[in-house]
Amino acid sequence: MPKRSSSVAGREFGAGVRAIIARTGLTHRQLAERLGWQEAKLSDMTLGKGGVSEVEVQILLAYCQATVEEREYLLDLFRESGKAWLQMPDDGLPDQVRTLIDQERDAEEIIDWSMILVPGLLQTPEYGYIVTEHAPSVETENVPRVAAARAARANILEPGRKFTFFVHEQALWLQVGGLEVWREQLAHLLRMSVRKYISIRIIPRSAGMHAGTAGDFRMMKFPKYPPVVYAESVNYCLFFDDPDTIKIHEEILNSLAAIALTEEESRAVIDNILEGLQ
């Protein structure tokens, strides 16, 4: 089995195997005994750590009566060993994929860089609805459902974790919707910025060219796993957890931190734009 001790694909594989085992009603010890395995081997598999062959995975899935679709999906994950994990969701909505939602839920720290729009987790429901309406991958009839699901993800903005948002000043000046939506979005940023566990830092337009122009991304850090970098486009998303890619994105974040305004200065920029809209 490809070594996957803490990779995104590995954890997804392990979660899928655990769900299938749970349906049997057997404990891991009972199942291991029936398969003639050491319980530690089954434990490593359900944690996505390796230690089994593809044939053994097939034996386990067959014994647990996994469906054909489940077998194909989990075997694809098992074979995944690249530096990036590409997902192309069937509904074409990258930021709604379960993997991302799971990663956000498990992260103890999230650092987000956004150059064009207010970061998704900081969008008001009205602002997010308009962004969803203009998403080319969302059918008109699905806009209310998708917008509501996106808004619900902001529920993770609670104490106990740390959130840092680097936002380019031009994202604040982009009018999304009418003036009232624009004003409420800026006011929402001010309200969120005073929460102790949330840091909002603006990259001023005067900064000119900088490392962040390479593209938006999110870095998620976990208590027990290496960091994960997430990036998305119109109808696909990418997860990276290899050391080289993580290092490059950490350097970008360090560069952004060096040119970003302080939290107080950032609040002043937001407040000034808001006052001009009154």
**CB contact at 8 A, 122 and 165:** yes
Q: What is the mean pLDDT of residues 73-102?
A: 74
**Banded pLDDT at 274 (limits 50, 70, 90):** very high
User: What's residue 2's pLDDT?
Assistant: 47
Q: Same structural domain for residues 187 and 220?
A: yes
**CB contact at 8 A, 84 and 238:** yes
Give me the number of domains the chain comprises: 2
Q: What is the mean pLDDT of residues 8-24?
A: 87
**Is 74 a residue whose pLDDT tops 80?**
yes
The pTM of this model reads 0.81
Query: How many helices (DSSP H) and strands (DSSP E) are in the chain?
Result: 12, 7
Q: Report the range out of 14-28, 45-59, 214-228, 254-268 with the highest average pLDDT.
A: 254-268
Q: Same structural domain for residues 90 and 78?
A: no
Q: Which of 67, 82, 97 is the last residue of a domain?
A: 82
User: What's residue 1's pLDDT?
Assistant: 44
Helices (H), 5-53: 8-24, 28-35, 39-46
The string of pLDDT tens digits covering residues 28-53 is: 899 988 988 988 888 888 877 767 88
Among 34-48, 70-84, 229-243, 254-268, the range scoring the smallest mean pLDDT is: 70-84
User: Does 1 fall in a domain?
Assistant: no
**Is 221 a residue whose pLDDT tops 80?**
yes
Backbone angles phi, psi at 143, to 5 degrees: -55, -50
Give the CATH number for residue 196. Answer: 3.30.870
**Closest to 164 in 3D by CA, of 102, 100, 119:** 119
Domain, as residue range, for 92 = 86-276
